[in-house]
Amino acid sequence: MTTNATIAVLPGDGIGPEITAEARAVLELVAQHAGHSFSFSEHLIGGAAIDATGQPLPADTLAACRDAHAVLLGAVGGPKWDDPNAAIRPEQGLLGIRRELGLFANLRPVKAQPLFADSSPLKPERIAGVDMLIVRELTGGIYFGQPRGRERDSDGTGEERGFNTMVYSESEVRRIARLAFDAARKRRKLVTSVDKANVLDTSRLWRSVVSEVAGDYPDVTLEHQLVDSCAMRLITAANSFDVIVTGNMFGDILSDEASVITGSLGMLPSASLGVPSGDDALPRGLYEPIHGSAPDIAGRGIANPLATILSAAMLLRHSLGLAKEAAAVESAVDAALASGARTSDMLSTAESGSGQASQALSTHEMGALVCKELQQQL
Ligand code: NAD
C-alpha cells in the first residue's frame, strides 16, 4: 500500500544540516523503492532561526511542523548563542516545538553494539546484550508544574527561596504507561516503572496508576523500581532491562546515563511522540539524534550521520506505520558497520588500540553506503 506523507526537516545548527541531509536521502530512497510518496520541506530552528528571524521557533516553522506527519530534526545550539542569560536561546525552539505539538512521550532505544564494546566505560560483560527502550514522560512533572519560581522570604531574613512543583495527573500517567506496555508487547514483555514512591506522593500516584494499567496487559510483566536503585542497576545489570517507563526528570537523567554506557553517542536515535489522532491512530512525532550540534566538527563533513538515519527509521515505524521499511534501514546501518565502515568519531573510540588502521568515511560517504546497503534490503 502506498503511503503519502509530509515530512518537515529542521536541520538546525552545527552538524545538523550535514546529518539531516543524509537521513533525508535515506527516506527518499525508501519512498522511491517501496513505492511511497514523501514530500519534504526544510525550515529554520534554533540558532540559525534566531540569526535569520530573531526567534528560535519562527511561526512558519511551527505551522509546517503542525501540518506534517513527522518532523526530522538535526540539533540546535552552539557557542554563538550559548549565553545562559540571553533572553532568546536556541533550545527554546526545541522546548517550544515539543510543547506546541503536544509531544508527551520520549522514546530512546539503547542497544549495545559489540563493535563499540571497547569504548564503553563499562566492562564488556556488563554491556553485552544491552537492548532497552527508555520511555520518558515529556510534558509534565517537575519541569512544568506550577507554582514555580524564586521569592524573598517575608519573615525579615530576606533569604531567597527557589521552588518547583512535581505534579502528575492520573491521565498523564495512564497514557505514558499504555505507550510503554504497548511497546513492551512488541519486545521482551517486561516493563520497569521507575519512581521515588518511598518519598514522593506524586510517585505513589504514578505507581498505583501504572499498576492499574498493567491489568490490561496480562502478557507483560511489570516491576517497580526506585530511581536511585535503577541508576545503579543501569551500571551493574543494564542488560536486565527491556522497557523503562518514568517521569520527566527521572527520565532525563536516566536516559543520559543509559546513553553513555554503549560508548557510541553518534549512533543513538530518539523519538518524541504526540497523541495519535485521526482514523489511522498513528502519532505525530519529532525524530532526532540524542547528540548535540557538535560545533567542534561542524562544516567539516566528518560527522557521524547514523544516529539521525536511525531516527529516520523510527520516523518510518512510529509516525508512518512502515515497520518493514524501518527494519530495512536498521539492517542497512548494521550491514554498513559490519562491512567495516567507520566515521572518524568511531575510529577514535571503537578501534583505538585494536591496531586496525581503517580509513574514516565522510558524513556523505557513510550516508551513501547506508543507501547502497538499503537498496539490497528493499
Ligand atoms: P555534542 O553532543 O554536540 O558533542 C559532544 C562531543 O561528541 C563532541 O566532541 C562532538 O564532536 C561529538 N559528537 C556529537 N555528535 C557527533 C556526531 N554525530 N558525529 C561525530 N561526533 C559527534 O554535545 P555538546 O558539545 O555538549 O553540545 C554542543 C551544542 O549542542 C551545545 O550548544 C548544546 O547546547 C547543544 N545540544 C543540543 C542538543 C539538541 O539539539 N537536542 C542536545 C545536546 C546538546
Burial class (CB in 10 A: 0-12, 13-18, 19+), 150: exposed
* Direct distance between the N- and C-terminal alpha carbons of the chain, in angstroms, rounded to an integer: 14
- Kindly give the distance from the C-alpha atom of residue 91 to the centroid of ligand 1, in angstroms, as a whole number: 13
Structure confidence at residue 85 as a pLDDT band (50, 70, 90): confident
Instruction: Give the pLDDT mean for 201-214.
Output: 98
Per this entry, what is the length of the chain? 378
> What phi, psi does 263 have (nearest 5°)?
75, 20
Secondary element (H or E) of residue 214: helix 201-214
Q: Which of 256, 280, 296, 324 is catalytic?
A: 256
Separation of alpha carbons 277 and 326, rounded Å: 22
Which residues' Cβ are closer than 6 Å to ligand 1? Answer: 15, 19, 75-78, 82, 94, 265-266, 288, 291-297, 303-304, 307, 345
Q: Which of 63, 2, 74, 4 is nearest to 39 (CA)?
A: 4
Task: Please report the atom of ligand 1 found closest to the CA of residue 82.
Answer: 32
- Cell 553518534, residue located: 266
Per the domain annotation, does 83 fall within a domain? yes
Looking at per-residue pLDDT, the higher value among 263 and 342 belongs to 342
Per the domain annotation, does 361 fall within a domain? yes
217 part of the active site:
no
pLDDT at 10 over 50: yes
Question: Mind listing the pLDDT tens digit for each residue in 231-273?
Answer: 999 999 999 999 999 999 999 999 999 999 887 778 999 999 9
Question: Mind listing the pLDDT tens digit for each residue in 146-184?
Answer: 999 999 987 778 899 999 999 999 999 999 999 999 999
252 part of the active site:
yes
Instruction: Give the pLDDT mean for 67-83.
Output: 96
- Cell 532491562, residue located: 241
State the residue range of the domain holding 92: 1-103+284-378
Sequence-distant (≥ 6) Cβ neighbours of residue 94 within 8 angstroms: 45, 46, 73, 76
pTM for this entry: 0.93
Per the domain annotation, does 127 fall within a domain? no
Which residue's CA is minimally distant from atom 6 of ligand 1?
A: 294
Per the domain annotation, does 50 fall within a domain? yes
Q: How many domains does the chain have?
A: 1
* Percent of the chain whose pLDDT exceeds 90: 81
Per the domain annotation, does 31 fall within a domain? yes
Question: Mind listing the pLDDT tens digit for each residue in 297-331?
Answer: 999 999 999 999 999 999 999 999 999 999 999 99
Separation of alpha carbons 72 and 80, rounded Å: 23
196 part of the active site:
yes
Mean pLDDT is lowest, of 117-131, 212-226, 311-325, for: 117-131
Per the domain annotation, does 259 fall within a domain? no
Per the domain annotation, does 335 fall within a domain? yes
Structure confidence at residue 278 as a pLDDT band (50, 70, 90): low
Per the domain annotation, does 362 fall within a domain? yes
SS3 breakdown of the chain: % helix, strand, coil, rounded to 5? 45, 20, 35
Structure confidence at residue 354 as a pLDDT band (50, 70, 90): very low
Q: What's the Cα-to-Cα distance from 153 to each of 159, 163, 317, rounded to whole Å?
A: 5, 12, 52
Domain of residue 53, CATH code: 3.40.718.10
